[in-house]
Amino acid sequence: MSKKINWAILSTGRIAHEFAECFPKHPDAVPYAVGSRSLEKAEAFAKEFGFQKAYGSYEELVSDPDVDIVYIGTPTTMHYENAKLCLEAGKNVLCEKAVTVNKKQFEALCDLAKKKDVFFMEAMWLPLHPTFIKASQWVREGRIGEVQIVKAEHAFEHPYDPTDRGFSKKLGAGTILDLGVYNFAFADEMFGTTPDKVNIIGRLGPDGADIDSQVQLLYPTGYAIFTMGYAFTTKANTVIAGSKGKIQYEDIYTGAKDVYLYNDRMEIVETYSEEKGWVGLDYELESVTECIQKGLKMHPVITWDHTLEMFDIIEICKAQLGVDYEEYELL
């Protein structure tokens, strides 16, 4: 019988709710404890999702000796301090993306995780999703020939609200940190390398966070183009085109249920569908639970080096657009 893993959730916000909804499908992942700055909120969350314990502070949560791993679902600008608290307490950590606001913070957390000999990972479930894995397999098998272009639109319009996590720089808002992390990982997987050149154009909101942008990544054999934003909505097509055909999603690739393989005559020759009806967080919860059961300190796919490579792109984009999080970037 496999070992049950006691999960704790730090924060009771929207993404924490979505993560908590996954537990009933994963018997080895135990919804054990939740921590909030408000005991009332923690108790309500625990009751709603069947967690055994509720704590009115993050410090109490990480002091519980029965917590095996902590999922951090706070706003991005709080991730560094929250993750540091958990790691210093000797807890395994899965921290929501973007894991920190800059590369320097992430490197410091990796050093701390290594010192404490615990698991640490950015919550980037994309490489674990079946349609992503299948598309990558088709590319590696040469089914579409040499990859020449990757194109995706990732934009969702909603009214401007300076207190919303999508717009507030105080909360780590911005298309680069929130959406770019998916896009950059997607392009690098399909091209099999990091880009030679990065270009970004975009618009900044009143407090300096990027509310929409378009990124171009140049690779040895082609390029990737990503449109991202909160100020407008686009038809979320995703295409990976090569010299012998293409791969296409009818929706944005993040969590898409179906992906299609076309030959050079633009005929569908194969279709793959995600069969379990799971969301990306399900695959993440399952995979990370298995990592903790095996005693791993780093995920075999979402490695620290991979996250650092994505930060190299992120830092270039931030610099080109003039986006900074100076008051939140101190160690």
Q: How many helices (H) and strands (E) does the chain have?
A: 10, 14
In a domain, 164, yes or no: yes
State whether 287 and 158 are in the same domain: no
State whether 120 and 143 are in the same domain: no
pTM: 0.96
State whether 98 and 140 are in the same domain: no
| Per-residue model confidence (pLDDT) at position 330 | 65
Decide if 95 contacts 81 (C-beta within 8 A): no
State whether 95 and 178 are in the same domain: no
Q: Which residues contact 268 (CB under 8 A, 6 or more apart)?
A: 260, 261, 262
Range of the domain at 255: 130-273
State whether 105 and 144 are in the same domain: no
In a domain, 213, yes or no: yes
In a domain, 319, yes or no: no
State whether 105 and 48 are in the same domain: yes
State whether 213 and 285 are in the same domain: no
CATH no. for residue 219?
3.30.360.10
The rounded average pLDDT for each run of 10 residues, N- to C-terminus, in the chain (331 residues) is 93 97 98 97 98 98 98 96 98 97 96 98 97 98 98 86 84 92 96 97 93 96 95 84 95 90 97 96 98 98 97 97 83 62
Closest CA to 248 of 185, 88, 258: 258
Torsions phi, psi for 106 (to 5 deg): -65, -40
| Per-residue model confidence (pLDDT) at position 158 | 80
CATH no. for residue 54?
3.40.50.720
State whether 134 and 264 are in the same domain: yes
State whether 287 and 263 are in the same domain: no
State whether 63 and 165 are in the same domain: no
Could you say which of 273, 294, 320 is where a domain stops? 273
In a domain, 330, yes or no: no
Query: Domains in the chain: how many in total?
Result: 2
Percent of the chain, pLDDT > 90?
86
